[in-house]
Structure 1
Amino acid sequence: MTNISQGLVQVYTGDCKGKTTAAFGLAIRAVGHGFRVYIIQFMKGGDDYGELEGLKRLRPECQLEHFGGQGWVRKGELQEEHILEARKAFIRAQEIIISGEWDIVILDEIVNALWFELIPESEVLELIDKKPPHVELVLTGRNASKLLIEKADLVTEMVLKKHPFEKGIMARLGIEY
């Protein structure tokens, strides 16, 4: 039985860290209230992300699948592997959202996949329109478009004020990944 009477669309965007962290914080809160959460990660090809193991502890109420090719994606220099992985992730996202079986669906880094043109924005906007009314949909990633921002019910922008990278401190295990 679904607990959400009115599912909204949330976008977490911006040039600073915290987008995925905010979405996963929402997932933890939701599971604590008995909601079912499904997370699909775009552009995450490796296995060294702490959330992959951490979220296993929230099963079966919270499920996570990740998709992505190896190496960095560069705008204008797309590799077939990255395009295929993004397509697989999007097809899976469609199945999960349309099924209506999950209370909250998080599409982590899908906004980046849009910006890198791995999937067409028109397809994502159409999927938002097809979302069952009881499903909360969360999209994360940098560079949210004006159309996506207009379509969303809630938009949070993470704004960079200061970052440890500026001091030469690299990404840390368990903190940034």
Structure 2
Amino acid sequence: MEQKGYIHVYTGNGKGKTTAALGLSLRAVCAGKKVFFGQFVKGMKYSEVKALEYLPNFEMEQFGLNCFIYNEPNRDDIEVARKGLQRIKDIINSGEYDVVVLDEVNIALYYKLFDVDEVLEILKNRPKNIEVICTGRFAKEELIEIADLVTEMKEVKHYYNEGVMAREGIEC
């Protein structure tokens, strides 16, 4: 019997959204499921990219260039993100994966790299057994409405505010 897949949204200003999606991905792979992890906005080689070397049934692609978060996205940023969204649509519709992660899709939407209606259409028309995780700050209300699970990470205290920069294997 085919299981129903749910839509998760991990949002908020606290640390841990991508980390939670990676943890769920690890759990799914260890249960024999196949996972596709698409990272929007990100193009830098974060430590999790190495998971491809260690985890069977885990694939990851980045749909970003470097990091424009401190600037405005340019035409190349938009083009890469739009191609990434098409790739996600193809991956989801292939039925080849049990879990599909749209890491930082909320940030891509916030910066208007593509429209929320495009994402909603992909999610609503997906095969119903596919589990989808959407991460990133600033989740759109429309996405929250169709989600089955929404978790908000709230920053209470962060050592970044004390000048601690991102550390390899912990934040990147």
For residue 105 of structure 1, what is the amino acid of its counterpart? V
CA RMSD across the alignment = 1.4
Paired residues of 1:73 and 1:82 also in contact (CA < 8 A): no
How many residue pairs are counted as aligned between the two chains? 172
Paired residues of 1:74 and 1:116 also in contact (CA < 8 A): no
Q: Look up the match of 1:72.
A: 68
Match of 2:133 among 116, 134, 138: 138
Compute the TM-score of the two structures, normalised by the length of structure 1. 0.93
In structure 2, distance between residues paired with 1:28 and 1:81: 32
Residues 1:105 and 2:100 are matched in the alignment: yes
Paired residues of 2:11 and 2:136 also in contact (CA < 8 A): yes
Q: Look up the match of 1:62.
A: 58
For residue 57 of structure 1, what is the amino acid of its counterpart? Y
Q: Look up the match of 2:7.
A: 9
SS at match of 1:90: helix
Compute the TM-score of the two structures, normalised by the length of structure 2. 0.95
Residues 1:117 and 1:9: Cα distance change in structure 2 (over 3 Å): same
Paired residues of 2:51 and 2:58 also in contact (CA < 8 A): no
Deviation at 1:4, TM superposition (A): 5.6
Residues 1:4 and 1:116: Cα distance change in structure 2 (over 3 Å): farther
For residue 45 of structure 1, what is the amino acid of its counterpart? G
Gaps of 5+ in 1: none
SS at match of 1:12: strand
Q: Look up the match of 2:43.
A: 45
Q: Look up the match of 1:26.
A: 24
Residues 1:92 and 2:87 are matched in the alignment: yes
In structure 1, distance between residues paired with 2:21 and 2:2: 17
